[in-house]
Amino acid sequence: MNPAVKPPEQVFIVGCGDIGRRVARLWQADGLPVTGLARHADRQTAADIIPYQADLDDPATLTDLPVHQALVYYFAPPPPHGREDPRMAGFLQALEQHGTVPQRIVYISTSGVYGDRQGGIVSEQTPAYPQVDRARRRYAAEQALREWGRQQNVPVVILRVGGIYGPGRLPIKRIREQVPMVHEDLAPQTNRIHAADLAVICMAAALRGRADTIYNVSDGDESNMTAYFNTVADFLGLPRPPLIDMDEAQQTLSEGMLSYLGESRRMDTTRLREELGVELLYPTLQNGLEETCLRDRDEVRGTRNKL
């Protein structure tokens, strides 16, 4: 395990969605003030996050960012199109223009930067090979941030994350609508992490992550996409999705789903375990669903009762 770094005195979060709010609560429990960048300030105050109103798509609003010597989490997604991430570029330019230097930056990226490895294992030493634009945008953001960190002598930690599941993040709508999935022997190997565990990992990355270092993030519980959908359906008491072959999938499924089906890999998380020292709350999908499905199962039953 890496030696601990100096704890932060304040936290600034760019992108206060589910993971951002979870991370905020962890630091707030330690008594730290948390500020969040948002287009609409009222959404942050509801989570006891101090709002900083700005728009990543309008760099002119990124003035006087309260990040000097703060721990910065960058969770905002890139724009939905293109191969670059102008939001990250504008954020870094604003930091440089106004001379604000964070203590450290933690960025959530995606395991998609590895591309298709035909079910093979990828470690942090595996060269990136993004094959779709959503992954290319994340990789471009990674590269820009790491280069900026080296130039400004700011420690940067990259978390390459598989699929995130948890309350409100299960594919209930697809299962209920009986959207088909490919047979299990055709389904790609996938990697996922429970949202609660990811939040703890984000905290550990700030306290123990090495500068300019990438960490693969997954629970290590090997599975495939169809098995995941089937398991969720079983937990919720819903019919499993119908199964189709790849030819039918090309005619039936969305372009986005097909892109996920076209990539298969397994993530080596040795560095995560040994250096960040996080003991997962939900080390298997079964563990995570037992907790997650309690609320979602009630919602499903409530919906059924109204039908």
Instruction: Please report the pLDDT score of residue 302 as a whole number.
Output: 42
Q: Which amino acid is at 255?
A: E
pTM beyond cutoff 0.95: no
Please check whether residue 251 lies inside any domain of the structure.
no
Instruction: Write out residues in the chain with pLDDT < 50, as ranges.
Output: 299-307
d(CA 299, CA 283): 25
Q: What does the pLDDT look like over 39-89, one tens digit per residue?
A: 876 655 556 899 999 999 999 999 989 999 999 999 999 999 999 999 999
Please check whether residue 241 lies inside any domain of the structure.
no
- Domain of 103: which CATH number? 3.40.50.720
Taking a C-beta distance cutoff of 8 angstroms, is the pair 215, 209 a contact?
A: yes
- H-helix or E-strand spanning residue 213: strand 213-217
Please check whether residue 70 lies inside any domain of the structure.
yes
d(CA 136, CA 92): 18
pLDDT cut 90: percent of the chain above it? 81
Please check whether residue 225 lies inside any domain of the structure.
no
d(CA 216, CA 106): 13
Please check whether residue 293 lies inside any domain of the structure.
no
Please check whether residue 157 lies inside any domain of the structure.
yes
Instruction: Please report the pLDDT score of residue 90 as a whole number.
Output: 97
Please check whether residue 15 lies inside any domain of the structure.
yes
Query: Which domain does 98 fall in, by range?
Result: 11-170+191-220+266-283
Into how many domains does the chain fold? 1
Averaged confidence pLDDT in the chain:
91
Instruction: Please name which of 153, 162, 83, 159 lies closest in space to residue 124, comparing C-alpha atoms.
Output: 159
Please check whether residue 232 lies inside any domain of the structure.
no
